[in-house]
Each structure stands twice: as C-alpha cells, then as structure tokens.
Chains A and B, each alone.
Chain A
Amino acid sequence: MGLELAKTLTEAPLDRISGRLLVAGDPGGSFHLRGGAIVEVASPGAPGAETLLLRSGRLSEDDWASAARRCATERHIGAELVARELVGAAELQLICVAAALDGALAVGMGRIDGFSLERDTYDSRLTALQAIEPDWLVMEAKRRIQALVSRRRPFSPFRTRLGRTDAGSTSLDTTAAGERREILLRINGRRSTRDIAFLLGRSLYAVAVEVSRLLAEGLVEAVAPAPSMDSPVRPAAPAGGLPRRLPGASGINDVLPLRPAAGL
C-alpha cells in the first residue's frame, strides 16, 4: 500500500493534479497538491508548520491571529506572515518543507489502510511558498524512515512511550541546556516521541533521532504498555488466544463411541 501511495504521489506532476490525497490509517494524513506538486502534508502523527511556528516561540499567538484575520482563507497566511516580516520567506519555506517531510514520514512509518484522491479540494492550513517536488519528498521521507528503522534500538514514534532510566534522570544534572535536555525533561513514562515533538514545537524527525540516541545510551527506555494492575479483569486467555479444547466437551463421543485402537 505504501508503494502504491508513493507511486501515486510521484506521478502527480504528470497529470498536474490539484487536490487532496487522503491517507486512511494510523496515524494517516493528507497530502495537499497544486499543479502536481506538494504544498502541505498534514498528519496527526507529526507537528504541522503552524505548530512548529507557534510552539517553538518563533511566532506569537497574537501575531498569528492577527495575520489569520487578514486572510480571507488561511491558504495564503504564509504570504501574509512574510509581508508583515513576522518570519522570513526562506525560514518559512524551510519550516514548511520540514513539516511536509515530517508528515510524509509519519504517514510512511504508520499503518496505511488505503488512500483516495479528492481533486480540487483545498483545505490546507499553511502551505509552502514554493511547492515541493513529490519525487524529492518521497525519496527523502523514505531515506529518513530507513535511517530510523535501521537504528540499533528501533521504536515507534507514535506507540512507544518513553521513560527516563535512573541514568537518564542523573544525567539531567550534567546535560547542557539544549534540545537533548528539553527532550529528557519532557519524558515522563506516558509520552511518545511524537507527543514530545508537539510539546516542543520541533520536527518529529529531529526529536526521533535524538530519542534513538538516548535509547542507545541507556538514558531512556521504552515503557511497557499497560501494567497488569490496570488491565481489565477478564478470564485468563489460553496461550495463543484460542479456546482451550476439553476432551469430550463436544459430546461427539456420546454419539460416536470410541473405536478400540487397532490391534487391541
């Protein structure tokens, strides 16, 4: 399914497709296309450009709200932000590309159930000033996914909840201020890499790379899902999840009496 999706995206320029490619799955997402190129990738699995701008403190909420009010549709909010000199054009493009790559990475690393193309549907939030070539985006997202899954301690950026080890807690005293420390501080046993990326307003890929280093150094560990005391109390399932067979339970021996074994 992932290959079909990549093929659809890379062939989008041929038909100069405009619209939305909606990917169902977990976390899933949507690719927004204009004239065959990608202007935004949105996914619940990765912070969008708006989150990267606001949560990181690059842009204040008041400035964002004020710019948004001026725009009839938020499609052009990027141009408005640049016109007001709230963010540089190059910086905004960089953030939009990073967000699009993150979105593609989230879609690609998650489960893809299917996808559908809705032509001429425009509901993108904050689009890149210059559209992104699908070929490049697909290739780069693939490279990043490969880089993450080939790490010594692979983990899911969405499902793996992270906890600090004792060494990790101790290292907080010596870790210099910076992204690594910010990530370590936010690891509390119930957050995933994706959750921390949203909290910090940082790129999912950047946070995932740092988390994989922390895992390799033993400062962070994957927290086992759902301790037994919190599990619903249900009859113990037999090994393998299949019903246990009990001799004679079907009653077949009452209908067809057992034949003596051969030779007896």
Chain B
Amino acid sequence: MTTRKAQLVAEVRTLRDRVVGVTDVVVASVDGLLITADTDDTAEPESLAALTAATLNIARRAGSMTSRGMLHHTVSRFTDGYLVTHTLGEMALIGVLGDAGMDISRLHTEAQASAQRITTLLTDPSADAPAPGDGSAGQTDGTEEGER
C-alpha cells in the first residue's frame, strides 16, 4: 500500500467516522473508476463508484444545459437513506451512502473539508505514490490509482 493510498483510505474513514449515519464512502474518477472505498457488505465498491459517477455526470449535464453553473453536489433521498455525491475538481468525486438518519448538513460541511484534502492527495505530485502511467492526458494522477 502506498503512502498516498493509505492517506486516501484514512480520509475516507475519517469522513465516515465524523458524520453519523454514513454507511459507505467511495472515491472515484469521473468516469467511474474506483480509487478507494470504505463500504459495508451491502454495496459493491466498483458498482457504487460507477453509479455514483453516472449520477454526478447526469446532474452536471443537466446543470450545463440549463446554465446553472458549476456542480457542487447531488443528493438522492430514498425511503431508507441517501446517496450523496460531491465533486473533487473536474476529475474525481466522492460518493456517500447513508441511512435514513444521516446528518445531511453535517455531511456537507465535512465532505467539503474532506474534498479539499482528497483533491490535494490526488493531485499533489510530491505524494510518494508510483508515478502516473502514460497515455492519460487530461486525467489527474489520482485516477491512475484506480483498481483497474
């Protein structure tokens, strides 16, 4: 496990620990590739990453088409819980699953702080992760840390 990977895992766990009701957290690239996850046995990390990215991209396109400006986050409310996505710059995202009692306002506050730290981890060239692979123009280096 690289230092950068360990720090990402720790950030994701911190977010889960700080907000009551958070059950699963994924960090993924905008194209849905998993970067890191802390998930319960009810959610498959790769699938959650892909679906979260799809949710965010649809919202982003809807916002773009209607000139609503930059997307910050999306919230899907279900009978038994939430799926919340937060953007990490243009290249990555955080997806959070929570139960029906999740403290949504606290999540937004904590997710913004986490987003800044995770973005730094994903983009900081000084982090001691393996060098990014070739042929990834336009991608942040963090996206190469995806499982596939």
Q: State which of B64-72, B97-105, B139-147 sits at the interface with chain A.
A: B97-105
Contact status A233-B79, CB under 8 Å: no
| A225→B17 contact, CB < 8 A | yes
Task: Count chain B residues whose beta carbon lies closer than 8 angstroms to a beta carbon of A.
Answer: 22
A51, CB-defined interface residue at 8 Å: yes
Q: What's the Cα separation between A28 and B101 when bound, in Å?
A: 12
Give the complex CA separation of A133 and B10 in angstroms: 45
Chain B residues contacting A226 (CB-CB under 8 Å) are 10, 13, 17
B10 & A194 in contact (Cβ 8 Å cutoff): no
Q: Which of B1-9, B27-35, B49-57, B83-91 contacts A (4 or more CB under 8 A)?
A: B1-9
A-side contacts of B114, CB under 8 Å = none
Task: State the Cβ distance, A56 to closest chain B Cβ, in Å.
Answer: 12
**For the complex, is A230 an interface residue (Cβ under 8 Å from B)?**
yes
Identify which of B11, B23, B79 contacts A195 (C-beta below 8 A).
B23
**In the complex, what distance in Å separates the CA atom of A190 from the CA atom of B100?**
17
A48, A64, A188, A225: which contacts B101 (Cβ < 8 A)?
A48
A27-B20, A44-B101, A45-B20 known; A231+B80 contact, CB < 8 A: no
Shortest Cβ gap from A197 to chain B (Å) = 9
**1/0 per position for B90-117, CB-CB distance to A under 8 A?**
0000000001111100100000000000
Q: Mark A43-64, 1 if CB is under 8 A from B, else 0.
A: 1111110110011000001001
Cα–Cα distance between A43 and B1 once the two chains are bound (Å): 38
Residue of B nearest to A103 (CB): B101
A198: CB under 8 A from chain B? yes
Nearest CB in chain B: distance from A164 CB, A: 14
Nearest CB on B from A51, distance (A): 5
- Whether A229 is near chain B, meaning CB under 8 Å from some CB there, is yes
Q: From A230, which residue of chain B is reached at the shortest CB distance?
A: B9
Chain A residues lying within 8 Å of B13, measured Cβ to Cβ, are 226, 230
**Among A27, A159, A190, which residue has its beta carbon within 8 angstroms of that of B40?**
A190
Residues of A within 8 A of B79 (CB): 54, 61, 64
Residues of chain A in range 204-235 having any CB-CB distance to chain B below 8 Å:
225-226, 229-233
Q: Contact between B99 and A195 (Cβ–Cβ < 8 Å)?
A: yes
Beta-carbon contact of B101 and A46 below 8 Å: yes
Chain B residues with a Cβ under 8 A of chain A? 1, 3, 6-7, 9-11, 13, 17, 20-21, 23, 40-41, 79-80, 99-103, 106
8 tightest A-B contacts by CB? Answer: A44-B103, A232-B10, A198-B99, A44-B20, A27-B20, A232-B7, A233-B3, A44-B101
